[in-house]
Homo-oligomer: A and B are copies of this chain.
């Protein structure tokens, strides 16, 4: 039992990443392949099965040597039944049965959860979360996702929506979100949100900041450009980043006040802005948490990058063998 290994699978719209890990979270083998989303994504699960079986043969390993396969996926996950629906970047519009099919195809127990929860487990286990019992993870990408580990357990809530930090309301009169309500954190602090804030603030801005000129010239801007300009001291870009980090700091402060985790870990593409974003966010965070939280709950940048997915997916196996 203690020599058993785990397989982690990080399923995304572009690639599928695989890793074989020890029970202690050390990656021993890793590989990846492109995601074939043709034919309503019907090749994806057979491809995963074939890839796992092929690599086990290659490494001369048997299914009995594995405690399980864990997988992170986009879409709505029913983790008890091991099904997924509505993963649009995989072309999975209808119900798909990863657990049933992958267990049948590999003879290894299979566990599944959504990609943000899995990344949270990864950062908690081997990344910035220091394997603490209380870690909240927020990923600032095209959208905003999150995952909460509390008292050592990944939270799901009554209907699977625990950790949906992107939909925390930071301004009831704010922008309309894709979810149908107004003022979600995602509308202002995701990669697309940062650009939206920049466009809006540019309209009211009268100076000659480079960001203003770029927007007026109709140039394509990204959150990275906004942060880079702010780092150079661009006045408008600085105001945008200040506003974004204010919103983010307030949302994270209330997670701190509610959950008092050891760490709130910030990952995803926007977090590439690094300490520049972190320091500004921390300022608002600290102003809005009460003293015990200010002393004990810390903001950190994610450290695993792309590997959070496979590592966290693998840890699903441990998570599910707890009770």
Which A residues contact B (CB, under 8 angstroms)?
A: 132-134, 148, 150-151, 153-165, 167-169, 172, 177, 179-181, 183-184, 250-251, 253-255, 257-262, 284, 287-293, 295-297
Q: B133, B155, B179: which contacts A151 (Cβ < 8 A)?
A: B155
- Extra contacts, 15 of them, besides A164-B290, A181-B289 (Cβ < 8 A), are A134-B162, A148-B258, A150-B153, A151-B155, A157-B261, A158-B297, A159-B293, A161-B292, A164-B292, A165-B257, A165-B258, A168-B254, A169-B250, A172-B288, A258-B258
Closest Cβ neighbor of A185 among chain B residues: B257
Bound state CA distance, A137 and B223, in angstroms?
39
Bound state CA distance, A260 and B156, in angstroms?
8
Q: How near does chain B come to A90, taking the closest CB pair, in angstroms?
A: 20
Bound state CA distance, A164 and B254, in angstroms?
10
Please name the 4 residue pairs, one residue from A and one from B, whose CB atoms are nearest each other, closest first.
Answer: A157-B260, A159-B296, A161-B260, A158-B262
- Count this chain's copies in the assembly: 2
Q: B159, B165, B251, B261: which contacts A158 (Cβ < 8 A)?
A: B261
Closest Cβ neighbor of A163 among chain B residues: B258
Bound state CA distance, A290 and B133, in angstroms?
27
Given contacts A163-B258, A165-B258, A254-B169, contact A158 B287 (CB under 8 A): no
Given contacts A157-B134, A254-B169, contact A181 B260 (CB under 8 A): no
Bound state CA distance, A293 and B156, in angstroms?
12
Q: How near does chain B come to A111, taking the closest CB pair, in angstroms?
A: 16
Given contacts A155-B150, A290-B179, contact A257 B172 (CB under 8 A): no
